[in-house]
Structure 1
């Protein structure tokens, strides 16, 4: 399948591109900084350079895709202002509808609840901390996810708490807070593998599963 990846040069995004290539997919990588494009991609990856505010570049990246992956996440820089990823996500969703692309896979934290999930002490804590101490980032990730859930597309939002640069594990916990046993830490490699696996799997369409090691 043809997959467009936003945030493709980030820590999780670049691992996701590698997973998609390994699974035999064709990849278009949307990146802000061409200097961050890994040389190892060579000519295997179609590159589109642009900001999240660039509607034309986003439309170009989505054209011809069968699915879209967004590994975009809020900046933790306290000097950052505004919520550019909310508007950027809106541009991505508009481009998908324009090109009749239905499948969307994105990332979030348990501050965002699955539609069938009830709040737990963990989700309350994960919501309270950013809402209180990183309000801009909280507004950005919840704003992005609200647009995705309301899009009418075949979306999946993968949630995680503490991504680590650790090796991929043999066993990954997937589920929902309040009903399943989930941990806090998770390997970025496992997030990438699970993300890539959703491209041709409809198990979690319209859901926001949490993942941990």
Structure 2
């Protein structure tokens, strides 16, 4: 399979690229700075400079791909006070470019509890949302709403991990739950376990048009 990876120079995106290559996929990493992936050398990897906000330019890079994997993200700002619109602003040109390139499959990443729901973990309601990541979560929520309402023609899966940990894969299947959060979860998951799940998704139809919360399996 030929896949395009957005956000490929970030800590999660790099692992998506590595995981996809290990499984034998042809990978096009679309980045702002190609030097960010110069340490990865593989005959199946192409690193191309692209602007995710330029629909026509992006579509030329996507042409011929079977799926798009996106790990795009942005900093939450000082104590979460900065206005953030990155997630809804970026998903719009990406989905337009996908249509221009005749691609339907999208696997992308937001976060657990992007949308407010009854019963969400109290640490999110009273600490994380108001003090640190509220504006980022609000932008992720707008992105999810856009996919749900404006992208019915696309086969998207939104992967929603808990806090990402920089440690090796657990070697276990992750706990995956449709919805905004995993009840009684650990609230921490290895990046590699998330990337394994994302790459799994492009080869099956288990989570089409779903929002999937991920956590470590106890």
TM-score range normalised by the length of the shorter chain = 0.7 to 0.9
Indicate conservation of the 8 Å contact 1:113/1:208, yes or no: no
Separation in 2 of the partners of 1:18 and 1:11? Answer: 11
Find the partner of 1:110 among 98, 109, 112: 112
Unaligned runs of 5+ in 2: none
**1:24 Cα deviation from its structure 2 partner:** 1.2
**1:131 Cα deviation from its structure 2 partner:** 4.6
Equivalent positions of 1:108-187 (< 5 A) are 108-112=110-114, 119-122=118-121, 125-126=123-124, 129=127, 131-133=129-131, 134-150=133-149, 151-152=151-152, 153-171=154-172, 172-176=174-178, 181-187=184-190
Q: Secondary structure at the match of 2:35?
A: helix
The ranges of structure 1 where at least 4 consecutive aligned residues each deviate by more than 4 angstroms after the TM superposition are 79-82, 127-131, 176-181
**1:140 Cα deviation from its structure 2 partner:** 2.1
**1:183 Cα deviation from its structure 2 partner:** 2.3
Find the partner of 1:198 among 201, 208, 212: 201
Give RMSD over aligned pairs. Answer: 2.5
CA-to-partner distance for each residue in 1:133-183, whole Å, 9 max, x for gaps?
344322321222222222111111111121000110122222246886532
**Aligned residue pairs: how many?**
209
After TM superposition, the score normalised by the length of structure 1 is 0.86
Separation in 2 of the partners of 1:139 and 1:86? Answer: 9
Q: Secondary structure at the match of 2:146?
A: helix
Cα 1:71–1:128 change in 2 (3 A) is farther
After TM superposition, the score normalised by the length of structure 2 is 0.84
Indicate conservation of the 8 Å contact 1:48/1:57, yes or no: no
